[in-house]
A and B are shown apart, each in its own frame.
Chain A
Amino acid sequence: MAGNWFPIAQLTSSGRPIFQPGEVESNLLSSIDIESEENPNFPVFKSGVLILTTHRIIWIDESKNNNSSSSSSTSSASAISIPLGAVTHIFSPKKSIKSMFASPRIRFQVSVSTAGKVEEKGSRSMVITLVFRGSKSDPDTFVTKFWEAWRARSWEVLSSEKSDSNEKNFGSVESSSGLRMAGVSGILRKEQETWESTDKSLQDAFQDLNALMGKAKEMVMLAEKMRLKLLSGPTGQPSTTDEEMGSKQDMQDWLLSVGIASPVTKESAGALYHQQLSRQLADFVKIPLERAGGMTALIDVYCLFNRARGTELISPEDLLQACAIWAKFDVPVMLRKFDSGVMVIQNKSHSDEEVFARIMALVLKPEALRLGVSASDAAMTLGIAPALAKEHLLTAETKGLLCRDVSAEGFRFYINLFKEIDLNDIHLYVTNPVETVWYVIVHIHRLLKLT
């Protein structure tokens, strides 16, 4: 089993690795085999996607990852990782006549435990070979980046920061003993402190350009730490006031837009760009979708996604392509195009029926029976964008549930009474409950108007 040899790498539901705090990917390659020539029992790792990050080498079994029927139990074994901290030596690629014809190979030594599992500071060692099967892959670039990442030792910065912050935070916001006395206001105060120290860091940084490189990393760490703190902070605080709730909401809004620490870029992902972008996007839209009731306009997603990416902006074309690839993966979201051409992202579980039920409830209210509903009325009730609300209303109209009224007062929708009216008896009072309700309401209104 792969798990006996390597630590398992956690994946998101759409098959992107879950990164550790401060971890950033620097290179993606496809069609990579992992071998270990000295171990005859070494399991088969064939033709997977290899992701080099500042902390790890992650290898994802593409065949399992793309298989939509794979359950969580099998997908857990489909990705492994090699912590860079376990790497003890990287061998220079051999330049020989033979190597010109074979697939490029890169060897490196890792430390392993006595049981043979890769880990940091293991007592034994093992040589691992990466075989580049893909014709497009560029081993030289990989080796350069591998060296850079290995030498930078960014994983160590993280672990030392971790122990630091635990000491500093003792007794204030989130002590390890679970003493969370300060609540959201505490977090906000903590925020203030963090900002002050950030401010100091900034001033320091500008005084000495040489120190800037070192400080830059600190900045990233700070941002990341803030994120984590805010995420874990407010839980288990039942006594939050409205104001606190409001600020908590604000915080989470910021958090959402702080977003993506390791955006997939053309530079890092190369040929795998759109595929990886697609997976990252699928993970990203989950929260905005949940808040928007299961459907969000593509334009909104574009803004949110790019805002979360910060500087590594993507083009609308890239976004569209990334959405289009979803059809091939087992992701819980999908792209939908309305008849009008408006495109939205929605949960696969999203049902129009539920929306229709809510729209019907809305148009059957006395006020709506008399005056109809506009797209903005529906938007407010359903808690969605007016453009989307209009799409829903139009769809309900197509289904024969509603009908339109275009006048100087605007474009409004009413419950469809046409099908209720009996052609043979157009002058008689109707017995149909819906129509009766409508008439009663209209008559009451007229009486009120007359008096």
Chain B
Amino acid sequence: MQKLGDFKLPQFFNYPPYFTLQPVRDTREKQVQLWKELILDYCRNQKIFVIGIEEEFPLFTNQVIERFLSHEAKETFLSALVSEGRAEWMDKGHKRCLILWHRIQEWADIIMRFVKETGLEDSVMTIEEIRSGIESRGTELHGMDRTILTRALKLLEQKGKAAIFKGSSADDEGVKFSA
């Protein structure tokens, strides 16, 4: 089976029409669905949070059959993810796309579970600590995208489960969790 890094590619990755945006509606719907699944799978597996539409992205090129996605196709597939709430455009020009293989709410739940498991309730952490600290090592939170993390924390704050403190710089923003 073909692999991209340690990611196992599905069989249809070598099916040339998979890389051409299909004009017939039913066919395209199925094609878009397959691409959405594959993008989410790949990003989850490779811990990729942002796809730059103009930058090289391994999944959008198949060297074996010499096919690659057109700009229009990339935008179509990512837009489909956006409309489902599984991605967000980071700019108006649709150049960078934030991939949410966990929705913000799911990330918030993961953070709370982490806080409970490590007994960090009522203690203060910096946001940077959550992303790269010793405590989060080995969890999904380790190395996660700062934008997504901030968004998840804000969601928790709205629900009264966390309080964010502004620090002197972006690096030392702090957060206090409450059970």
Contacts and interface: CB of A to CB of B under 8 A. Distances in A.
B105 interface: no
Interface string B64-108: 101100000000000000000000000000000000000000000
B134 to A, nearest CB: 34
B15 A414 contact: yes
Given A419-B27, A421-B30, A426-B38, A407 B66 contact: yes
Contact of B30 (A418, A427, A429, A438): A418
A26 B34 CA distance: 69
B31 interface: yes
Interface size class of A (residues with CB under 8 A): 20 to 34
Interface hub of B16, B20, B37 (most chain A Cβ within 10 A): B16
A412 B16 contact: yes
B145 to A, nearest CB: 25
Contacts of B64: 446
Interface hub of B20, B34, B38 (most chain A Cβ within 10 A): B20
A448 interface: no
A427 B16 contact: no
A224 interface: no
B10 A426 contact: yes
B17 interface: yes
B23 A404 contact: yes
A407 B30 contact: no
Interface hub of A403, A417, A429, A442 (most chain B Cβ within 10 A): A403
Contact of A417 (B15, B19, B23, B26): B15
Contacts of A426: 10, 12, 34, 37-38
A209 interface: no
A88 to B, nearest CB: 71
Interface in A400-423: 400, 403-408, 412, 414, 416-419, 421, 423
Contacts of A418: 17, 22, 27, 30-31, 34
Contacts of A406: 20
Given A400-B27, A408-B66, A439-B11, A414 B38 contact: no
A387 interface: no
Nearest to B68: A407
Contacts of B24: 397-398, 400, 403
Contacts of B11: 429-430, 435, 439
B136 interface: no
B14 interface: yes
B8 interface: yes
Interface of B is mostly: helix
A405 B8 contact: no
Nearest to B29: A418
A375 to B, nearest CB: 15
A15 interface: no
B26 A400 contact: yes
B33 interface: yes
A189 B31 CA distance: 65
A372 interface: yes
Interface of B: 8, 10-12, 14-17, 19-20, 22-24, 26-27, 30-31, 33-34, 37-38, 64, 66-67
Given A414-B17, A421-B12, 19 more contacts: A403-B17, A403-B22, A404-B20, A404-B22, A405-B16, A405-B19, A406-B20, A407-B16, A407-B66, A407-B67, A414-B15, A417-B12, A417-B15, A418-B30, A418-B31, A421-B30, A427-B10, A438-B15, A439-B11
Q: Which 5 A-B pairs have the closest CB atoms?
A: A405-B16, A418-B30, A403-B17, A426-B10, A405-B17
Interface of A: 372, 397-398, 400, 403-408, 412, 414, 416-419, 421, 423, 426-427, 429-430, 435, 438-439, 442, 446
